[in-house]
Amino acid sequence: MKKAVITFLIIIFSAVPAISAEPVEQIFEELSGENFFQAPMPEVIQEHSEPKEKYSSHMPFFKKTRLKIKEFLNNKNTVEQKVQPKEEVTQDIDVTTTEEVTEDADVTNDAEPLVGEVREQVAENEMMLDCDNVVLNKETGDIEALGHPILILPPQNIELTADKMTYNQDSNILKAIGNVVLTKDGVPVYGDFIQINMNEENIFMDNISSQMPSLKISAKNAVHENDKIILQNGKMFSDKSQKYRFVSRMIGPDFSQMIVDDKDKMLLTSGETAKLNISASKIFVNAFKDHDTIQFKDAEIYYNNRYLFTIPSFTAHTNKEREIFEANYPEFGSRSKLGMFAGPGFVFDAPFGSILKVIPLLNYKEKFGFGGALKYQTAFNETYFMYGSSQDVFVLKGKQQLDDKLFLQYGSNAYMDDWFMGVRMPKYLAELIYQDSFLNKNFLTEGKDMTFKHRASVAFAEDGDWNMHTEHISSSGISTTRFKYMAEINQSLFKYKDEEHRKALDFGVVLQGSAAVYGTGDTQFTGRIGPRLHTQYKYWMQDLGYFATAYQDNTPLPIFDTYRYGTSSVYLREALRLNKYISVGWAGTITLSNDSPNGKPFQENMFIISLGPDDLKFNLGYDIMRKTTYFTVSMLFDPKGTTVEFDRMEIKNPEKFGKSDDKKDDVAFQKSDNSVVRKLQYAQVIDIEDPNKESI
């Protein structure tokens, strides 16, 4: 019975919230990826917040190894604890271990080291029943518990109450009738009736309902049998406001920074009157060893009770930690050299919690062709590979997170991020990068913050054969190593913000420097300084700045990383909100000194138009220099008022949903680097006794 009750509670309290907004955010992050160009310019920091821990439940292998090495070195310098004599009494022992420790236990130098803390283990009663009176029905063989019966499972912190409970010893079936409340960790599930078959370990519950902090669920009945739970005629909904912002990476100006009066906003999914309903015939939830999947069948979408469209089938895949998300939606877009592409997506679970998406493509660049794409994701890696026959070219791009501030990027025929030097296309590139930033608040005076960012990298690259449209720079065809260091100081000098009248100004100065040494012996040095300004007046917003630059560029990879912006350049981003539904923008960088290596004044030039209400924007952009079209999405979603109804929800292997078996190693290191867990070499428990408890 204990196993059946626990299984039922796991899915009720864990599975349903996992369908909510967090995985959806991954969709829009995935739409952005690293695909959208952003003109090289200093970031305007509007506000500062403490960084969040990037990896909540596990961590990259490199970081884990680093912490283990640090732990080993700390332990090496720690004097081994001596075993205390048995007759001594120790009061301050607080150790957790799964091994049995008694007063007669021998402790030798060959004993296995104990990790963590040691506590006394107490075996609690597995089940307790309390009621006013018990009645035996001789005809039916039922034992009836009457008068406020309470069934308690202390190890699982589970409590079951009802008006009446009956237990039949012959059938081994427990029933709770009337005002049934099943509570775990303070969260109740309500129902009219529950039946637990302890022989077959299945559960039936009638008219269930439950409320989590941001979600309510109700169903006509619930059945648990074998490895499956079935909810019928139910719904999930939220009556609390909690806004989620999903923004894919923007090209040009970021419209979300604009101050907008509430009276001028048009909200589709997050307003007080907005109401989104989803009605699905079936919902399937399946938990595997390393993955969870959720599938909707025949899902009808309604907005304010008005039918919009039907999704015949939608299947989402996540890992156990919800760090990656992929679904069987189609993919479309464009890549330089490859051209435009579109195709359906098919998702497969791969080993060790990874996800693989296969996309057959129709692509076009000067002529139509066919091809395919593979998109591979893990918690710490994202890689895509594409091929199109129209130009007979393949594109590879990937990023592997190694530590909090250390990552590897690699690619071929793809634009790679080179920070304020722009995005450039090598023939091949593999680059190890360390980057960090530091905020010094009130550096000059109150409100005048200074931000320092830097980046060190080592790379192996081959010069590309194409970078920008109409650019006349010859490729060297050389492959070589590159060691590079880049740094930026961004000092705020004046800030002003008047939200009521939609006015804002942020003025500062930026200093940037870069130094590179190549395997050929060549070098590249760049230093530039200039003012930068962010302003808004009514519904016109702009970012602009000027750089005076000194540089010496002897790069052996001219297509890939030559400095293109000259000794004097200006960058601009302009955004104009025309009405509630349309905003337009432009971004560019112009060389003023006529000394750019490609002989062009415009080094960056792109346009964007943003369509839709304020909480659901569709952004269409075009990069003139790279001849590339972009499509991005920005969304603000409030689940308040949203309802998901279903005729039938099946949950398979609920005890595995969101549960990973490979967390032991990582949990031991979820502390800061300054508090690495130390190992106790020996432990002996002495004179710890409680006559009212059973020790193990």
Mean pLDDT comparison of 264-278, 431-445, 457-471, highest-scoring range = 431-445
d(CA 432, CA 453): 17
Q: What pLDDT, on a 0 to 100 scale, did the predictor assign at position 535?
A: 92
Summary mean pLDDT of the chain: 75
Q: Is there a contact between 232 and 217 (Cβ–Cβ < 8 Å)?
A: no
H-assigned helices in 436-576: 558-561
Q: What pLDDT, on a 0 to 100 scale, did the predictor assign at position 516?
A: 97
DSSP 695: B
For residue 280, pLDDT over 70 is answered with yes
Of the two residues 450 and 240, the one the predictor is more confident about is: 450
pLDDT in tens, 524-579: 999 999 999 999 998 898 999 999 999 999 999 999 999 999 999 999 989 888 88
Q: How confident is the model at residue 94 (pLDDT cuts 50, 70, 90)?
A: very low
For residue 458, pLDDT over 80 is answered with yes
Q: What pLDDT, on a 0 to 100 scale, did the predictor assign at position 344?
A: 92
d(CA 618, CA 545): 28
Q: Is there a contact between 435 and 454 (Cβ–Cβ < 8 Å)?
A: yes
Q: What pLDDT, on a 0 to 100 scale, did the predictor assign at position 611?
A: 86
Q: What pLDDT, on a 0 to 100 scale, did the predictor assign at position 406?
A: 94
Q: What pLDDT, on a 0 to 100 scale, did the predictor assign at position 392?
A: 92
Percentage with pLDDT > 70 across the chain: 71
d(CA 176, CA 159): 12
The two tokens of residue 109 are 């130098």
Of the two residues 333 and 427, the one the predictor is more confident about is: 427
For residue 691, pLDDT over 80 is answered with no
DSSP run (H or E) holding 357: strand 354-364
Q: How confident is the model at residue 1 (pLDDT cuts 50, 70, 90)?
A: very low
d(CA 123, CA 109): 30
The two tokens of residue 194 are 């529950």
Long-range contacts of 219-225 (CB under 8 A, 24+ apart): 219/649, 222/8, 224/4, 224/7, 224/8, 225/200
pLDDT in tens, 647-677: 998 888 877 777 766 554 554 444 444 443 3
pLDDT in tens, 195-219: 887 776 677 888 877 765 556 788 8
Q: Which of 37-51, 372-386, 589-603 has the lowest mean pLDDT?
A: 37-51
Go through 473-495 and write b for each residue having 16 or more CB atoms within 10 A of its CB, e for each that does not.
bebbebbbebebebbbbbbbeee
The two tokens of residue 477 are 């065809």
pLDDT in tens, 573-582: 898 888 888 8
Q: What pLDDT, on a 0 to 100 scale, did the predictor assign at position 29?
A: 31
Percentage with pLDDT > 90 across the chain: 27
Q: What pLDDT, on a 0 to 100 scale, did the predictor assign at position 469?
A: 74
Q: Is there a contact between 610 and 581 (Cβ–Cβ < 8 Å)?
A: no
- Please report, as a single letter, which amino acid is at residue 549: T
Q: How confident is the model at residue 502 (pLDDT cuts 50, 70, 90)?
A: confident
For residue 456, pLDDT over 90 is answered with yes
**What angle (nearest 5°) sits at the alpha carbon of residue 507, between those of residues 501 and 510?**
150
271: Cβ contacts below 8 Å, ≥ 6 apart = 615
The residues facing 183 across adjacent strands are 159, 188
For residue 586, pLDDT over 70 is answered with yes
pLDDT in tens, 95-148: 333 334 343 444 344 434 434 443 434 444 566 778 888 888 877 778 888 888
d(CA 265, CA 139): 71
105: Cβ contacts below 8 Å, ≥ 6 apart = 684
672: Cβ contacts below 8 Å, ≥ 6 apart = none
The residues facing 87 across adjacent strands are none
Mean pLDDT comparison of 216-230, 295-309, 616-630, 655-669, highest-scoring range = 295-309
Q: What pLDDT, on a 0 to 100 scale, did the predictor assign at position 301?
A: 86
Q: What pLDDT, on a 0 to 100 scale, did the predictor assign at position 673?
A: 46
Q: Is there a contact between 510 and 495 (Cβ–Cβ < 8 Å)?
A: no
For residue 445, pLDDT over 60 is answered with yes
Q: What pLDDT, on a 0 to 100 scale, did the predictor assign at position 156?
A: 66
DSSP 658: T
Mean local confidence (pLDDT), 31-47: 35
Q: How confident is the model at residue 93 (pLDDT cuts 50, 70, 90)?
A: very low
Q: How confident is the model at residue 329 (pLDDT cuts 50, 70, 90)?
A: confident
pLDDT in tens, 148-199: 888 887 766 778 888 888 888 788 888 888 888 888 767 788 888 888 877 7
